[in-house]
Chains A and B, each alone.
Chain A
Amino acid sequence: MSSSSPLLAVEGLTRRFQGLVAVDGVDVAVREGTVHGLIGPNGAGKTTCFNMISGVLPPSEGRVSLDGHPLDGLPPYRRTARGLARTFQNIRIFSEMTVLENVMTGMHARLTAGLGILWRSPAFRAEERAAKARARDLLGFVGLLAAADHRAGDLPYGDQRRLEIARALACEPRLVLLDEPAAGMNPAETHALLGLLRRLRDERGLTLLLVEHDMPLVMSLCDRLTVLNFGKRIADGTPAEVRRDPAVIAAYLGAQQAEAQTGAVPAEASGHPAEAAR
């Protein structure tokens, strides 16, 4: 792959829900080895984009390709095999399973045991042993090794988010989609998450695409940003460029003013790009 073509290319992605256009012709190009942020006010269509990229939701129009190979029409499991992994906005770990089993489930596409399961073939046992060791490695990487045998649903909220990241890493992805990884975390947890995500990029060479509302996190972590508003892309560039973009400022201030008038506390109040810059 040449350094100029992106690892993930999203072109003209569109999703209509009975007349409502949730995502409207969005283009995103994510370069290998970078952290790319997808930001925008609530309801801008960020999670819908994620669902279409990961194959959970079919797009009305548009194309998605990974490393030059089109993913269009492929079911989620095929995309996972191609090197795509994701986490969910509302945590979706397998809560009845243990923490270790959750991570091992993420390896499903990479394990090949077949009928050998029925007679515990040496190949099956070797594979299972290796998978368990790798799962423990990943748990160590996210700092959850001590909880390996706990029921996943019993973990505190922040740990469940980290488990979801470990489970996504178990898919051996090239690109990880992270849907609001910092949601519901306290400042200390968010700070630890920032370190973890940087290590994913710098130590493991992973490419990340994340949706996030925590602007200080986004601004200090992301190499590049794409901003959505009402389903349309309104800006794209480095954090410094996006922060100065008049359209972005208008979108965020507009959202704040609208919410201020209704008396609601805006979710992005502390997260305006311009504020984070100060």
Chain B
Amino acid sequence: MYKAGENMIQESSSSLVKEQRQVVSLTDVTFSYNGTPVLQDVSLSVEKGDFVAILGPNGSAKSTLLKVMLGLLAPQAGEVRILGQKARQFTAWDKIGYVSQQAANINTSFPATVQEVVASGYYTGFGRIFDRGKRKAAVKNALEAVKISGLSHRLIGQLSGGQRQKVFLARALVRKPEALFLDEPTTGIDTATQEEFYKLIYNLHKDHMTVVMVTHDLTRALKMATKVVYMMDGKATLYKDKGNFFENFTSKILEQGGQG
């Protein structure tokens, strides 16, 4: 249940059909760092085919929310479900792709080629001895999908920030996931490459990929996303209609008279 508020949409009690449509669902989730709560009673769900932009000021726990959604951080209270399974017991990781903020803070002297990094995304557990051929093909496809086939034997440290982030996108896509989670994927990348990167994401979404993206780029979010999660003071508000969010957001800013 959401806390009271005009713009929050009431969720009907989850029927089976609904559950099957849900990629991620959070129910009354509270998460604290060393006793300080940064997420309070957050409930929301991401459905198949959504493009959800997570927006909010700096330090509003956007990345934390994304990590809680993925089960990387375990909340102190509440329940997180990924594709209907409890996050802690979730096993179908091949259906989830994740691009973290890596590009900006990667160890550039790590001796790995683009191909090796992308192949590390194709993890199939211990029965993999027989997957060699499939893995190679999957890596090739993923590199083509993000248009960096020419870089496959280059060391990761020799690439530009934009190229590197494409490598991480390819690594996330190599198992053909159903949903893609991105954490400020274009931090520190030049505008031209950003444009290219967002176009890739947009096309993936058009091909029915569910996308959840943390970003501080408001215009971009409103252009691409179908839904918006706005984070503020530990609360996360889901706007199922981004137009609704935009109206609310501008009026809020006017009310605050530019304080925020």
Are A and B subunits of one complex?
no
